[in-house]
Amino acid sequence: MRGRKHWPFKTGLLVAGLTLWFGTAVFAAPAIEGDTDLTVEADQVVTAQFTVTNEEPMESVSLMLSYDKDVMTYMSGSGGDNFDVTGGNGSVQMTSSPESTEAVFTVRFRGAEDTETTLEVVSCTAAVNGAEVDVLTGETVASEEEAEESDETAEGDEENEERASFVIDDRTFYVRRPGDMEGFDVVHMDIQGIDSRVLKHNTLDLYVVYLISDNGSFRDYFVYNPDTGNVIPYVNMSSGTDTVIFIEKDEDVEPPVRYSYVDLGWGQKYTIPAYKHVTIDGVDEIFDDTNRYLVYGINQDGEKAWYSFDYDKNSLQLFDTIAYDGEQIYITELEEKDTGMRSEMAYQLERYNTDMGTRLFVILILVLIIIALVNVVVLMYLRMRKMKMLPEEESAEDDEEGRKESGEYIVGNLEENETDFSDPEESGQDQDLEIIDLNEPDEDDE
């Protein structure tokens, strides 16, 4: 890989065990080698590898790195059996159980710009023969039992003292004796019914506890809320001229409108309660795609307020609630107006569809009535026409029969004797016309 240098962390001084009168036995402490100086290019992947070695097999190895998040973006990591990694926000925590004399960790980043940068090994521990060794210093880290005995001896507590505990990311953390912190005093406090040592802020009603995980890999300070019994990672940031510590919001404090709760990843598998802005698209809420979050904090004067945290730039700014609320009121009015217009349009459309349906139904009924009337008229016309044709046929038959009956009284043949139908004057004979009175009875009848 270009621009990458190897450097040895041969930090294990010699762990000597003196055996009186029999000489000295010397063992080499675990050592680490890796790539710390990197050359990165924009949108290109750069890889760094770290190797932890020891003469005896190591049950577990934990390595924590820090990087410039403005220059690189964490992508992935790998490292042998039972490997676990958490990366982002400028730090990478990797653990594995090699059960061998060597553990190799590989971490990949994507460059944001063309530049030179450095990886820093924040901590590296290895468990050898049940003892945890700090690879960077070569010193043996006190086990959980030894730490408890030390605490109990210092405080005069009884053996096997119970300790308050918290479950964070499925791992149990125990309250331990805190170190010195500027602006805080060590006090005793009842946590989960157990007398515990905590740090109390000099001027603020703020408590901080020191927690160590059950395997000893994680040791961090957390802000403890006596009202809820919850803890969140201790974060102290500057916002302008203020020094702000992240805390849980009070129960009576509501987040600004259009902000929904999220767990903001922080450091080594920790989360901080935060809120993400959402926009409304139709009826769905869509989270803002920027890395800006809303967190609740308290400044050095005890003033609690909402702060806008830029995850990418690791910057904090006081959130202008008044301006935001005014803007949201205006947006709400526009949305209500738009909703009203949409409702009115929907009502008009429904009314139009109803009216058109009624009109079409009436038109259909009228068409059916007209068709029925036309059929009736046609049928009546055909029937009347049939009635007129029948009398004409009967009269024609009567005329023909009458002609046949009158023809029976005609005597003579037109072709043989045309004189039978000549005019009496033309015949030259005087004909006597006899007038018969139909009213007088005939002699023969008498």
Q: Residue 374: pLDDT above 50?
A: yes
Lowest mean pLDDT among 39-53, 207-221, 335-349: 335-349
Give pLDDT tens digits for 265-276.
Answer: 887 678 899 999
Q: What is the pTM of this model?
A: 0.46
Collapsed DSSP state (helix, strand, coil) of residue 425: helix
pLDDT of residue 26: 40
Collapsed DSSP state (helix, strand, coil) of residue 326: helix
Q: Residue 322: pLDDT above 50?
A: yes
pLDDT of residue 91: 81
pLDDT of residue 218: 84
Q: What is the mean pLDDT of residues 23-32?
A: 59
250 vs 305: CA distance, rounded Å: 10
Helices (DSSP H) in 12-69: which residue ranges? none
Query: Residue 28 pairs with which residues in a beta bridge?
Result: 14
Q: Residue 251: pLDDT above 70?
A: yes
Q: Residue 208: pLDDT above 90?
A: yes
- How does residue 1 score in pLDDT terms, banded at 50, 70 and 90? very low
Instruction: Return the H-helix or E-strand segment holding 376.
Output: helix 321-406
pLDDT of residue 436: 60
393 vs 279: CA distance, rounded Å: 93
pLDDT of residue 245: 94
Q: Domains plus CATH for the chain?
A: 6-139 (2.60.40.680), 142-234 (no CATH)
329 C-beta neighbours (distance < 10 Å), count: 11
Query: Residue 54 pairs with which residues in a beta bridge?
Result: none
Residues 40 and 4: beta-carbon distance below 8 Å: no
Give the end-to-end CA distance of the chain in Å, rounded to a whole number. Answer: 165
Of 101, 100, 107, nearest to 121 by C-alpha is 107
pLDDT of residue 393: 58
pLDDT of residue 235: 92
CB proximity list for 230: less than 8 A, separation 6 or greater: 224, 248
Q: What is the mean pLDDT of residues 213-236?
A: 90
Give pLDDT tens digits for 416-428.
Answer: 555 555 555 555 5
Residues 279 and 285: beta-carbon distance below 8 Å: yes
Residue where the block lists tokens 């006090």: 187
- How does residue 406 score in pLDDT terms, banded at 50, 70 and 90? low
Which of the two residues, 430 and 82, has the higher pLDDT score?
82
Of 17, 106, 142, 122, nearest to 63 by C-alpha is 122
Residues 128 and 137: beta-carbon distance below 8 Å: no
CB proximity list for 127: less than 8 A, separation 6 or greater: 58, 59, 60, 61, 133
15 vs 204: CA distance, rounded Å: 45
Which of the two residues, 361 and 80, has the higher pLDDT score?
361
Give the per-residue SS3 of 133-182: EECCCCCEECCHHHHHHHHHHHHCCCCCCCCCEEEECCEEEEEECCCCCC
- How does residue 365 score in pLDDT terms, banded at 50, 70 and 90? very high
Instruction: Return the H-helix or E-strand segment holding 298.
Output: strand 292-298
Cα–chain center distance at 244: 31
Which of the two residues, 430 and 340, has the higher pLDDT score?
340
Q: Indicate the DSSP class of residue 80.
A: S
